[in-house]
C-alpha cells in the first residue's frame, strides 16, 4: 500500500512539474531572445528520458527521476529568490521536491518488499 502511495505521489509531481514547465515556457512567460522550441528542449527533454521506465515502475528509472528532479529544485529556488513574482518558481520547487521524495521512497520501499 505504501509503495502505491509513493508512486502515485511521484507521478502526480511529475505531471505537475512537466505541465508547469510547458505552460511557463509557452503560454505564461515565453522567452524573448531564444526560440521557444530550444527552451523546451533544454528544460523539458531531460524529464522525458526516464519516462517510459518510470511509467512501468522500473526502480532504476524511478531513481533517475529522483536525481533529475534536483536541478529543477535548484532552478526554482534561484528563480524564487531573484524574482518579485515567485508563484511559478515556488510551484517548481514544490513539484520537484515531491517528485524527489515520492520517487526516492518508492525505490526504497519497493526494494525492501522485493528482497
- HSE on the CB side for 61, CA within 13 Å? 17
In the structure grid, which three cell numbers stand for residue 1, read together?
Answer: 500500500
At 71-110, the pLDDT tens digits run 999 999 999 999 888 899 999 999 999 999 999 999 998 8
pLDDT score at 45: 92
DSSP 55: H
Contact 5, 106 (CB under 8 A): no
CA neighbor of 95 nearest in space, from 29, 24, 3: 24
pLDDT score at 111: 75
> Using CB atoms within 10 A of its CB, is residue 112 exposed (0-12), middle (13-18) or buried (19+)?
exposed
Tell me: pLDDT of 114 over 70.
no
**Distance (Å, rounded) from C-alpha 75 to C-alpha 103?**
19
More confident residue, 113 or 100: 100
Confidence of residue 1 (pLDDT cuts 50, 70, 90): low
pLDDT score at 16: 96
pLDDT score at 14: 95
Question: pTM of the predicted model, to two decimals?
Answer: 0.91
Confidence of residue 115 (pLDDT cuts 50, 70, 90): low
Amino acid at each position: 500500500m505504501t509503495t502505491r502511495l509513493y508512486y502515485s505521489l511521484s507521478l502526480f509531481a511529475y505531471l505537475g512539474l512537466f505541465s508547469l514547465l510547458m505552460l511557463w515556457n509557452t503560454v505564461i512567460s515565453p522567452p524573448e531572445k531564444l526560440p521557444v522550441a530550444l527552451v523546451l528542449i533544454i528544460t523539458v527533454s531531460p524529464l522525458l528520458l526516464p519516462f517510459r521506465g518510470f511509467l512501468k515502475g522500473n526502480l532504476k528509472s524511478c531513481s533517475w527521476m529522483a536525481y533529475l528532479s534536483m536541478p529543477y529544485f535548484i532552478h526554482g529556488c534561484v528563480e524564487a529568490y531573484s524574482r518579485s513574482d515567485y508563484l511559478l518558481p515556488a510551484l517548481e520547487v514544490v513539484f520537484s521536491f515531491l517528485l524527489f521524495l515520492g520517487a526516492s521512497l518508492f525505490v526504497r520501499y519497493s526494494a525492501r518488499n522485493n528482497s
